């Protein structure tokens, strides 16, 4: 606990020094560092109890125990940091800040685990015999051996499961939904939600789009001509029929309102003179007030109109989701092209709410980019570390199993991809690959010691199964705290990371041994 607390202090300290603010993304950093940092101490403590001697004249055995596990800790921390730093390639500033702050905390935890922890252990009483026995031959350890023997006997079945996971991922990934309406993530009783609901109900919406329409070659007074204004009016009436459009404010609408007052006819006047007379009110209004109300609808030369389109979700009287907003935008653009484009009238749809669509596209691209970069870097480092490209690929198998099942789980449960869930794969890659590295290091060692491949797999499960399971339980247990968050984005993040790491652990202890056994049998891995 002392180590992970110090690592967390460093993370928050770096945020303070760099001037970073706590955001919906960085708020999870303390929980991440506290939980991930414990995995390094668990690996060292497991080795400490495993190598403990009853009688000793010096503490050299503690140094030796640390050296036995140092490769695992260094590789685990390096890959975790790489997973986080892959977020530096995203376009979202909060994600980049998260990457730097979390990486510093993980680095500190790893260094302290290899220095401070052994120094502290040297001051303690030597482990008792029953403590050492529990680690080497306890019920947990023997259950790992039995599970490994079972996996070996059904190695082809468990290898086939990996193929099934790939098929499920191929089907699910294109069906992942995106979310950019973060208001829906807040509890319904939250003041933000209540305030926006009040606006939607009393001020004709809280979402707004603007459609700016320009006359061909800036023809002066173009929109004072009845036939030109009628084109815009017809399009407006068509848009007003859309169920998710609450209201449209425009020059042509006001002209029709004024005409109804004067002639009891709600339509664009047939004569240019009446339109010109009514347009005088706009100039007077614009000069008499500081709000510039009329200039928001039409410019002084009547060559440009602006339609303010108030939108909402007609089903629940709330904000439109990313999917609904995208559909409505496409419909508006289609109507604009049909009524305006064919008459050589240019137009542009813009507004703050369109940034939600851009954000959704950005999140999707950033998620793919950061995932690809982290996987490639982990593959390169693992290949260099094991001096084998095959072992580098094997390192990724449990991790990819967890990630692919994560996307399948998102589709089944309807969890969307957003700025928080985007980070799940980068975090999972950095943390989930640790188990595979630890297992493969032990596998290579046991392979050299001889015996049948079944005996090698059983010994690997006995020695590595306990720390792999304990570190995952520790991390997942800590991250499950995030599921208590009232903000759905954080809840989703905690749930998905926990789910991914759990199945990455299962992949390490089940799928990876099965594939290794098959590769050895067909001499693709030599002793």
Domain range list for the chain: 2-181+357-521, 188-320
- Burial class (CB within 10 angstroms; exposed 0-12, middle 13-18, buried 19+) of 401: buried
Q: What would you report as the CA-atom Rg of the chain, rounded to the nearest whole angstrom? A: 31
What's the confidence (pLDDT) of residue 136? 72
Q: Is the pLDDT of residue 286 over 60?
A: no
In this structure, of 73-77, 104-108, 316-320, 447-451, the range with the lowest mean pLDDT score is 316-320
Q: How far apart are CA 449 and CA 526, in angstroms?
A: 13
Highest mean pLDDT among 9-23, 192-206, 413-427: 9-23
Average pLDDT over residues 95-104: 89
Q: How many helices (H) and strands (E) does the chain have?
A: 19, 4
Residue 47 binned pLDDT confidence (cut-offs 50, 70, 90): confident
Highest mean pLDDT among 128-137, 198-207, 228-237, 347-356: 228-237
Q: Average model confidence (pLDDT) for the chain?
A: 83
What's the confidence (pLDDT) of residue 344? 85
In this structure, of 2-11, 69-78, 144-153, the range with the lowest mean pLDDT score is 69-78
Average pLDDT over residues 308-323: 74
Question: Bigger pLDDT: 370 or 384?
Answer: 384
Distances (CA, A) of 417 to 144, 174, 504: 36, 12, 20
What's the confidence (pLDDT) of residue 57? 66
What's the confidence (pLDDT) of residue 295? 56
Beta partners for residue 417, in sequence order: 178
| E strand or H helix that includes residue 161 | helix 155-172
- The answer to whether 268 and 229 have CB atoms below 8 angstroms apart is yes
Beta partners for residue 347, in sequence order: 213
Q: For 249-260, give one letter per residue: b (16+ CB within 10 A) or e.
A: bbbbbbbbebbe
Q: Is the pLDDT of residue 184 over 70?
A: no
Beta pairing, strands 207-214 & 304-311: antiparallel
Show contacts of 453-460: CB within 8 Å, 24+ apart.
Answer: 453/152, 453/517, 453/520, 453/521, 454/149, 454/152, 454/517, 456/520, 457/148, 457/149, 457/151, 457/152, 457/513, 457/516, 457/517, 458/145, 458/148, 458/149, 458/152, 459/145, 460/148, 460/513
What's the confidence (pLDDT) of residue 1? 86
Q: At what angle do helices 389-413 and 354-386 cross, to 10 degrees?
A: 150
Average pLDDT over residues 196-219: 75
Q: How far apart are CA 481 and CA 498, in angstroms?
A: 10
Average pLDDT over residues 253-273: 82
What's the confidence (pLDDT) of residue 296? 73
Q: Is the pLDDT of residue 291 over 50?
A: no
* Model pLDDT for residues 241-260, shown as the tens digit of each residue: 888 888 888 888 888 887 88
Q: In 3D, which of 253, 210, 208, 230 has the Cα closest to residue 345?
A: 230
Average pLDDT over residues 459-475: 87
Average pLDDT over residues 317-335: 79
What's the confidence (pLDDT) of residue 260? 84
Q: How far apart are CA 248 and CA 54, in angstroms?
A: 83
What is the model's pTM? 0.70
User: Would you state the torsion angle of the CA atoms of residues 69, 71, 76, 78, taken in this order, to the nearest 10 degrees?
Assistant: 150
| Superfamily of domain 2-181+357-521, CATH level 4 | Multidrug efflux transporter AcrB transmembrane domain (1.20.1640.10)
């Amino acid at each position: 606990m002392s180590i992970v607390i110090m690592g967390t202090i460093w993370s928050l300290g770096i945020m303070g020094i760099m001037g970073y603010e706590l955001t919906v993304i960085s708020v999870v950093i303390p929980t991440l560092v506290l939980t991930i940092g414990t995995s390094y101490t668990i690996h060292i403590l497991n080795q400490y109890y495993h190598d403990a001697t009853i009688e000793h004249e010096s503490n050299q055995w503690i140094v030796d125990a640390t050296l036995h596990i140092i490769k695992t800790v260094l590789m685990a921390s390096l890959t975790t940091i790489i997973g986080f730093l892959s977020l530096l390639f995203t376009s979202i500033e909060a994600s980049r800040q998260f990457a730097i702050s979390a990486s510093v905390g993980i680095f500190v935890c790893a260094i302290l685990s290899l220095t401070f922890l052994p120094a502290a252990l040297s001051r303690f009483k030597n482990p008792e015999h029953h403590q050492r026995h529990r680690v080497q031959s306890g019920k947990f350890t023997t259950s790992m051996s039995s599970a490994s023997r079972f996996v070996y006997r059904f190695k082809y079945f468990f290898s086939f499961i990996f193929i099934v996971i790939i098929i499920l991922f191929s089907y699910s990934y294109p069906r992942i939904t995106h979310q950019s309406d973060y208001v829906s993530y807040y509890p319904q009783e939250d003041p933000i939600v209540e305030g926006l609901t009040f606006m939607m109900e009393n001020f004709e919406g809280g979402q707004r789009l603007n459609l700016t329409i320009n006359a061909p070659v800036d023809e002066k007074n173009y929109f004072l001509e009845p036939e030109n204004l009628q084109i815009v009016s017809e399009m407006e009436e068509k848009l007003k029929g859309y169920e998710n459009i609450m209201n449209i404010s425009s020059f042509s609408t006001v002209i029709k309102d004024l005409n109804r007052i004067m002639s009891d006819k709600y339509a664009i006047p047939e004569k240019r003179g009446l339109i010109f007379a009514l347009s005088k009110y706009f100039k007077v209004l614009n000069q008499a007030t500081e709000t510039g109300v009329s200039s928001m609808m039409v410019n002084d030369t009547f060559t440009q109109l602006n339609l303010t389109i108030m939108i909402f979700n007609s089903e629940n009287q709330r904000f439109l989701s990313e999917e609904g907003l995208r559909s409505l935008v496409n419909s508006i653009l289609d109507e604009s092209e049909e009524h305006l484009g064919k008459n050589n009238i240019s137009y542009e749809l813009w507004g703050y709410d369109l940034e939600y669509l851009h954000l959704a596209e950005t999140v999707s691209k950033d998620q793919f980019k950061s995932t690809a970069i982290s996987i490639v870097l982990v593959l390169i480092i693992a290949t260099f570390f094991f001096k084998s490209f095959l072992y580098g690929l094997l390192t990724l198998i449990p991790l990819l199993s967890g990630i692919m099942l994560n996307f399948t789980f998102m589709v089944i449960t309807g969890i969307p991809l957003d700025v928080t869930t985007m980070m799940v794969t980068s975090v999972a890659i950095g943390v989930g690959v640790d188990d595979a590295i630890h297992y493969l290091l032990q596998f290579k060692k046991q392979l050299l010691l001889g015996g049948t491949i079944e005996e090698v797999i059983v010994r690997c499960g006995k020695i590595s199964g306990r720390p792999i399971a304990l570190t995952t339980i520790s991390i997942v247990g800590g991250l499950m705290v995030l599921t208590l968050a009232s903000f759905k984005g954080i809840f989703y993040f905690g749930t998905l990371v926990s789910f991914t790491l759990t199945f990455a652990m299962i992949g390490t202890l089940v799928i990876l041994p099965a594939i290794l056994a098959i590769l050895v049998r067909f001499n693709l891995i030599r002793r």
